Amino acid sequence: MIRISKRAANIAASATLAVSAKAKQMKAEGIDVVSFGAGEPDFDTPGFIKDAAKEGLDKGLTKYTAASGAPELKKAIAEKLRRQNGLDYEPSQVVISCGGKHALYGAFQVLVEPGDEVLLPSPYWVSYREQIKLAGGKVVELRGQEENDFKLKPEQIVQAINERSKVLVLNSPSNPGGFAYTPDELKAIAKAVVDEDIIVFSDEIYENLVYGGQKFVSFATLANGLIEKTVTFNSLSKTYAMTGWRLGYAAGPQEIISAMGRLQSHETSNPVTFCMYAAIAALQGDQSCVGQMRDEFAKRGQHMWQRLNAIKGISCIKPVGAFYCFPNVSDCYEKLGVNDSVAFADAVLDKINVALVPGIAFGWDTHVRLCFATSTEQIDKGLDRLEKLLS
Ligand code: PMP
Ligand code: GLU
């Protein structure tokens, strides 16, 4: 009789990855599936980045480097953070991980003690909750209001802080909400928390994906002293269409970053060496690919949002960041004879072969998430089917 540890048994598999795996499997079986599942750009990684990886292979960059990442890439990341984000970190204050997901995992592991509270704005990205649980932390969900585009007011955050609070997670632009705090809104939060005894995790992985005049600012720049209590997370995945390369990073206070490096020395040894050299090319090369992809996502997001709101029973806030629509579909449950977001997503996949992620994975059982990082033709095909099903 095999007994899985309680720690692992309590962990749910990632719903976002599960939905896309199922859609891929159905496609392999010849079914014409439209997938709005996992959040990843449909674009190929830009050629100059691939070339740098090939060059790295040819140069023999195929050996171990350093557990916390190659020094040359740390330097390039510190320069990027200074140049683009106004954040002043030494290269030693950067840890490179196998994806932003891995960086977040490590940060929760090195900071959170059993029983510590982590304030998690909701809707939240699916993996935060499980990662907090794996560290023994207690999730304190701070639910946003849909009328306010799911955004929290500073008072709501401050009221939830007590002596057990360890970390506040911020993710703007948001997965799954598709909202982004304005600089002023974020500044108000910064002002409210800067004197609190709490570490802020600012997940800025969608920093380049903001639309319609929305502006991005890095949280740690917004109040004096905030940089000493903020860990900034980012990744190559979304900005450069590099989800499969598994490269992300965190920058923050030296004690936290060093501890994450020690942890990684027993976990992963180092992120893939020749990929790290390609990442230097990505960060230092011509950035026009980033804007081109963003402009395309902006059009698709607007189109998906308009079409969703035209479907009977569906209402959706306008996405101004990331690449997700997060509509409320609960008024359609009766029509499909379902009671929750999992049954809704199952019914949609079964009946019309459209894959979407149930909102319960993000804390909202009245909603579903659709990723619009796919072609307009696919968006129209999927939404034509959904419109017909729900009419
Ligand atoms: N944070 C957020 C908010 C995400 O949506 C994701 C998923 N891509 C990640 C972190 C992790 O991405 P990756 O591990 O590919 O860098
Ligand atoms: N973050 C993406 C998503 O939410 C990719 C899948 C994952 O890492 O969970 O779909």
* Neighbour-count burial of 195, counting CB atoms closer than 10 A to its CB (0-12 exposed, 13-18 middle, 19+ buried): exposed
The reply to whether ligand 1 has any atom less than 6 angstroms from the CB of 237 is yes
Sheet harboring 248-251: ordered strands across?
Answer: 94-97, 248-251, 230-235, 199-203, 165-171, 117-122, 138-143
Reported confidence tier of residue 12, pLDDT bands at 50, 70, 90:
confident
The reply to whether ligand 2 has any atom less than 6 angstroms from the CB of 14 is yes
Structural domains for the chain? 6-44+288-390 (3.90.1150.10), 63-284 (3.40.640.10)
The reply to whether ligand 1 has any atom less than 6 angstroms from the CB of 235 is yes
CA gap 232, 9 in Å, rounded = 30
pLDDT at 359: 97
State the distance from the centre of ligand 2 to the C-alpha of 17, rounded, in angstroms.
6
Helix (H) or strand (E) holding 22: helix 15-28
Query: If you average pLDDT over every residue of the chain, what do you get?
Result: 97
pLDDT at 13: 87
User: What tokens were used for 88?
Assistant: 């002043």
The average pLDDT across 200-222 equals 96
The minimum-distance atom of ligand 1 relative to the CA of 40 is: 8
Backbone angles phi, psi at 202, to 5 degrees: -105, 105
Contact call for residues 238 and 41 (beta carbons, < 8 A): yes
The minimum-distance atom of ligand 2 relative to the CA of 175 is: 4
Contact call for residues 98 and 271 (beta carbons, < 8 A): yes
Tell me if the pTM is above 0.85: yes
Integer-rounded Cα Rg, in Å, for the chain is 21
Contact call for residues 170 and 193 (beta carbons, < 8 A): no
State the distance from the centre of ligand 1 to the C-alpha of 16, rounded, in angstroms.
11
pLDDT at 20: 85
Of 11, 14, 20, 35, which is best to mutate to test ligand 2, by the most ligand atoms within 8 angstroms of its C-beta?
14
The reply to whether ligand 2 has any atom less than 6 angstroms from the CB of 218 is no
User: What tokens were used for 146?
Assistant: 């849909």
Q: What is the pLDDT of residues 282-312, one digit of tens each?
A: 999 999 999 999 999 999 999 999 999 999 9
Q: Which ligand is nearest to the CA of 235?
A: 1
**In 3D, which of 320, 317, 296, 299 has the Cα closest to residue 308?**
317
**In 3D, which of 235, 225, 236, 208 has the Cα closest to residue 323?**
208
Of 42, 126, 209, which is best to mutate to test ligand 2, by the most ligand atoms within 8 angstroms of its C-beta?
126
Q: Is the pLDDT of residue 38 over 90?
A: no
The average pLDDT across 41-57 equals 97
Give the angle 384-357-20 at the CA atoms, nearest 5°.
90
User: What tokens were used for 309?
Assistant: 């709101």
Residue whose CA is closest, atom 8 of ligand 1? 39
Residue with tokens 């510590």: 116
Q: What is the pLDDT of residues 307-357, one digit of tens each?
A: 999 999 999 999 999 999 999 999 999 999 999 999 999 999 999 999 999
CA gap 252, 255 in Å, rounded = 8
The reply to whether ligand 2 has any atom less than 6 angstroms from the CB of 101 is yes
The minimum-distance atom of ligand 1 relative to the CA of 104 is: 10
The average pLDDT across 123-140 equals 97
State the distance from the centre of ligand 2 to the C-alpha of 235, rounded, in angstroms.
12
